[in-house]
A and B are shown apart, each in its own frame.
Chain A
């Protein structure tokens, strides 16, 4: 398994735990006496699971297992792989911080826009890298 795939899969597993933990905290809030702002983490929890866990796991496994790009660079560009990893995780982390603040009326527009751009850039880096590897057997 290439190094970038290992980091993508490890990060996906961490995001799974964070997403499920956040959902559990939201569910437990009334009985555990957790502060009211915990419920504002709901969109972040959903995105930890759909983007951080599922999408990131697909990125990691696809970069590892899809048909080879070429003999010289079998798994395409390592640089684009790392860009996808960094963009997805930094973008997601910024969202987890900035979105609840925005929902409480304290928006940090710069962080929200940066989060959106980084996540889109990650998706674009993945698609550019993997598209040539998705091909029928000659």
Chain B
């Protein structure tokens, strides 16, 4: 497994735990008044699970297993994956933390830029074997 995929998959698992913890609080408060309001966690729960966990897990596996090039670097230059990792993870955290202060837009911009970078690197690898 390439190093970039290790970063994506390990970060995805951290997002899974954070997202499920937020979701657990949201579910529990439907039957039990909690000391602090947890409703503002809904947006963070959604971003952590859908983008941080599922989206990032798919990207990490795609970087690992999509067809490789016949010569080095077999997965293409690694910088788009490294940059995308920072942009996606920074974006999810900014969107989750800064949402009440209107920071979600900056977070989503980072996520979108990271996704564009990685999709640009992955698209040429979606090809028939031997090409």
B-chain residues with CB within 8 Å of residue A117 when the two chains form the complex: 24
- Asked if A134 meets B10 with Cβ closer than 8 Å, knowing A54-B54, A67-B1, A127-B17, the reply is yes
B-chain residues with CB within 8 Å of residue A55 when the two chains form the complex: 16, 53-54
**The stretch of B27-35, B88-96, B121-129 that contacts the partner chain:** B27-35
Contact check, A115 vs B27: say whether CB atoms are below 8 A apart.
yes
Across the interface, B13 reaches (CB within 8 A) one of A50, A108, A116, A131, namely: A131
Q: Is the interface of A mostly helix, strand, loop or mixed?
A: helix
Q: Is A112 an interface residue (CB 8 A)?
A: yes
Contact check, A127 vs B6: say whether CB atoms are below 8 A apart.
no
Chain A, 90-131, contact with B by CB distance < 8 Å: what is the 0/1 string? 000001001100110001111111011101100110110011
Q: CA A137 – CA B51 in complex, angstroms?
A: 26
Contact check, B23 vs A116: say whether CB atoms are below 8 A apart.
yes
CB distance from B4 to the nearest CB of A (A): 9
Number of interface residues of B (CB under 8 A): 25
Which residues of B9-67 have CB atoms within 8 Å of chain A's CB atoms? 9-10, 13, 16-17, 20-21, 23-25, 27-28, 30-32, 49-50, 53-54, 57
Across the interface, B31 reaches (CB within 8 A) one of A67, A107, A127, namely: A107
Q: Is A31 an interface residue (CB 8 A)?
A: no
Q: Is A136 an interface residue (CB 8 A)?
A: yes
A-chain residues with CB within 8 Å of residue B54 when the two chains form the complex: 50, 54-55, 58
Across the interface, A112 reaches (CB within 8 A) one of B1, B6, B10, B27, namely: B27
Q: Most chain-A CB neighbours within 10 Å: which of B25, B28, B50?
A: B28
Contact check, A112 vs B30: say whether CB atoms are below 8 A apart.
yes
A-chain residues with CB within 8 Å of residue B53 when the two chains form the complex: 55
Contact check, A136 vs B30: say whether CB atoms are below 8 A apart.
no
Which residues of A2-53 have CB atoms within 8 Å of chain B's CB atoms? 50
**A: which residues have CB within 8 A of B?**
50, 54-55, 58, 66-67, 95, 98-99, 102-103, 107-113, 115-117, 119-120, 123-124, 126-127, 130-131, 134-137
- Per CB-CB distance, the 4 closest pairs between chain A and chain B, nearest first, are A116-B24, A107-B31, A109-B31, A112-B31
The 7 sampled A-B contact pairs (Cβ below 8 Å) are A58-B54, A58-B57, A113-B28, A119-B20, A126-B13, A127-B17, A135-B1
